[in-house]
Amino acid sequence: MYKAVFIDMDGTLLKSDHSVSEVTKHAIHKLQQKGILVVLISARPLHGILPISKKVVTDDMPVVSLNGGYIFHNNEIIYQAAVSIPDTIAVHQELKGFTGLSAMYYSQMEWFAEVENDRIKKEQKITSVKIKIQPFHETLHHWEAQKTGPNKILIAGEKHLILGIEQKLNELHKGKLNIFKSQASYLELMSLEASKANAIEFLISKYGIDKRETIAIGDNYNDKGMIEFAGVGVAMGNAPEEIKSVANYVTDTNNNDGVAKALHHHFS
């Protein structure tokens, strides 16, 4: 019997219009009525998750944001992992060699960028907290005063630029940072302690659940680790072939109730 389900948001739980179907909501509510742990696990910052999670899961469920860099439960931070200041500075310096890329730095409930542009405005539409546009050194001073760093660095740009910076950053930081695409045009960087798989491992340890009793559902490269880690890994029908190839089960697309169909298949 499965005791916990971990569900990615964009491209998985959410349809292309960022809504959650009533069929999917109903399937999730049925699981919660049976005492199943249902956790939303997303690359989004917490303030980009809560307006949706409140409509989908009960308030006593933990929420995993920033790809596992920040876990929130019962109005408390129960886990967080940040990129070190030296690594953050090194990444910032490397980005200067690439034109056309936008960097956003997420730290707890705040996020920062140096310049506002169309890509940042797109992210602002799904994030209730206003981004702080300021020089990087001011953001750096803020983190130093707080004795922390960003939980996630998001780099956005055209696909060919993302491939280039991904290769460069992997050469420099492999083994020091988690680096992967959440979309073809989004590259995400986190501490090695921050990943969706690590977040699942942390939570099931907290709840006394064996990983064989877990299901993870996702659609993209940042979901690969948790799909491989879970007892049953489910890939969405809209996932890339690389993600489908590591899954135990492939469901329908996000626009055709893929999450609800996967839950029905495994819990019927």
Sorted by where each begins, the domain ranges of the chain are: 4-80+194-267, 85-191
- The confidence score (pLDDT) of residue 80 equals 93
Name the pTM for this structure: 0.89
Contact (Cβ atoms closer than 8 angstroms) between residue 215 and residue 1? no
- The confidence score (pLDDT) of residue 125 equals 84
> Beta strand pairing status for 132-133 and 110-113?
parallel
- Alpha helices by DSSP H, 34-72: 46-56
The count of other CB atoms within 10 Å of the CB of residue 131 is: 18
Active site residue ranges: 8
HSE-up (13 A, CA, CB side) for residue 136: 15
Contact (Cβ atoms closer than 8 angstroms) between residue 166 and residue 189? no
- The confidence score (pLDDT) of residue 241 equals 97
Alpha carbon 20 to chain centroid distance?
Answer: 17
- The confidence score (pLDDT) of residue 72 equals 95
SS3 234: strand
Q: For 142, which DSSP code? A: H
CATH class of 4-80+194-267: alpha beta
At the topology level, CATH places domain 85-191 in 3.30.1240
Mean pLDDT by 10 residues, the chain (268 residues): 96 96 97 97 92 95 95 94 95 89 91 90 84 95 92 94 93 90 90 95 97 97 96 98 98 98 96
